[in-house]
Amino acid sequence: MSRAGSVVGLRSGVTASQDSDGLLHIVFLSTGRHCLYEVEGEALEAVRLLGDSRPWEDVLQGVQVKHPDFTASRLEAILDTLEAEDALDVAARAEVPPAGDVETAVYEKQVSFFRDFAGTAAAARSVQSRLRQGKVTVIGAGGMGSWVIQSLAMTGVGQVLVIDPDTVSAGNLSRQVLYGPADIGQPKALVVRDKIQTLTGGRVRVDVALETFSAETGPGIFSGSDLVINCSDEPSVHMTTDWVSAACMPQGIPFVAGGGYTGHIGFVGTTIVPGATACWECYKASYYEQPRYQLEHIAGDRRRAGAFSPMAAVIANLQAWDALRVLGGLGEPLLANRVGELDAQTLTIQWRTFERVQCCRGCATAEKG
């Protein structure tokens, strides 16, 4: 079928080069795949013109300037080859965003990133639209939450609900992004709202709840959320995740549980999609089986453990990436059915996997989202 009437071009992340022997090199930057072709001058000219997306007719006529015998069927054959290698994007003219659109310009490189996962340019733009229409609730705007919220906002998630009753203190400033000395004493959630408003030019709406998250507030406050990320560790990550799980599972809301860092170890995951992945109770069944967790606290305060901005940023953004995968439909969550411990001294992640437990009482509460 002819692509006449369409806009055609090499897809983002693909480059074409010519070597001294005249061979055409097509290189896929995201995977390193490298294809070599022996081609004639008209094909090289066509590929050169495809470096920028343009109407099919412009490519045909552009090649014909130097090669008057170049035909539509020859162009189609070249495009067939490129498409078979997944090196081509073809779009109806109506699908191509208008030039000069600010939102398109802001997210252009990001949509190119999504293209590698989504399959087509149109599907990559749909991912961005899903993020734009998404609503994510983040519990806690501290060392983890502030980085998570910043990444969600920069990525273009349309609505973020921030739940945090705390105010900014001097001790937060070494690792909690978005806060400065002038914010000390101000409610974190309000500072976040104003900063995100400024950073995104109002594209991202931040709603705030200046209340302490609890088992009681969970179900109501999550209503309408597409995803929840728990970045709260008071009274403990486990307790707050218990509450998040109890609220999210019956509503079919995916959530990213826990995560955090103590000293030089960062804890990554898990991501739970009700009805599809192992749930929080499945995790706990695995977690509590380990003797080292069968402990009774006697003394010492984990809140005095060391904390470090780069660790907070890394852990938070691993969680954010998984949340965005779920929200944007970019693929299976990478933190499902496992948790990881990132060691800052070696940059290794030790993964611990777990599976859905048969007849799990947590899984039984799941409303499949």
Q: Which residue stretch of 136-144, 244-252, 277-285, 289-297 sits at the interface with Zn ion (rule: CB under 5 A)?
A: 277-285
Residue nearest to Zn ion (CB): 360
Report the residue from 43, 228, 279, 311 that binds Zn ion according to the rule CB under 5 A.
Answer: 279
CB 108 within 8 A of CB 99: no
Q: Which residue stretch of 138-146, 181-189, 254-262, 280-288 sits at the interface with Zn ion (rule: CB under 5 A)?
A: 280-288
Residue 8 Cβ vs Zn ion, minimum distance, rounded to whole Å: 48
Burial zone of 291 (CB within 10 Å; 0-12 exposed, 13-18 middle, 19+ buried): exposed
Residue 336 Cβ vs Zn ion, minimum distance, rounded to whole Å: 12
Residue 282 in the binding site for Zn ion (CB under 5 A) = yes
Residue 268 Cβ vs Zn ion, minimum distance, rounded to whole Å: 20
Q: Which residue stretch of 86-94, 167-175, 209-217, 282-290 sits at the interface with Zn ion (rule: CB under 5 A)?
A: 282-290
Residue 360 Cβ vs Zn ion, minimum distance, rounded to whole Å: 3
**Token pair belonging to 52:** 């920028």
Residue 281 in the binding site for Zn ion (CB under 5 A) = yes
Using the minimum distance from each CB to Zn ion, give the nearer residue, 145 or 362: 362
Using the minimum distance from each CB to Zn ion, give the nearer residue, 209 or 360: 360
Q: Kindly determine how many residues on this chain lie close enough to bind Zn ion according to the rule CB under 5 A.
A: 6
Beta-sheet pairing, 271-272 with 255-256: antiparallel
Residue 363 Cβ vs Zn ion, minimum distance, rounded to whole Å: 3
Q: How far is CA 212 from CA 163, 182, 225, 244, 316, in A?
A: 7, 24, 18, 13, 21
Using the minimum distance from each CB to Zn ion, give the nearer residue, 139 or 363: 363
What does the alpha-carbon distance between residue 229 and residue 254 come to, in Å, rounded to a whole number?
Answer: 9
Backbone phi and psi for residue 175, each to the nearest 5 degrees, phi listed first: -145, -5
Residue 95 Cβ vs Zn ion, minimum distance, rounded to whole Å: 41
Backbone phi and psi for residue 26, each to the nearest 5 degrees, phi listed first: -110, 120
Using the minimum distance from each CB to Zn ion, give the nearer residue, 160 or 366: 366
Torsion of CA 327, 268, 278, 127, to 10 degrees: 10
Binding residues for Zn ion restricted to 344-363, rule: CB under 5 A: 360, 362-363
Residue 158 Cβ vs Zn ion, minimum distance, rounded to whole Å: 30
Residue 165 Cβ vs Zn ion, minimum distance, rounded to whole Å: 30
Residue 274 in the binding site for Zn ion (CB under 5 A) = no
Using the minimum distance from each CB to Zn ion, give the nearer residue, 66 or 361: 361
Using the minimum distance from each CB to Zn ion, give the nearer residue, 12 or 270: 270
Beta bridge pairs of residue 256 = 229, 271
Q: Please give the distance of CA 203 from its chain centroid, rounded to a whole number.
A: 17
Using the minimum distance from each CB to Zn ion, give the nearer residue, 55 or 369: 369
Burial zone of 100 (CB within 10 Å; 0-12 exposed, 13-18 middle, 19+ buried): exposed
Beta-sheet pairing, 54-55 with 6-10: antiparallel
Q: Residues 11, 13, 14, CA angle at the centre, nearest 5°?
A: 65
Q: Is the dihedral of CA 190, 191, 195, 198 positive or negative?
A: positive
Return residues touching Zn ion (CB under 5 A): 279, 281-282, 360, 362-363
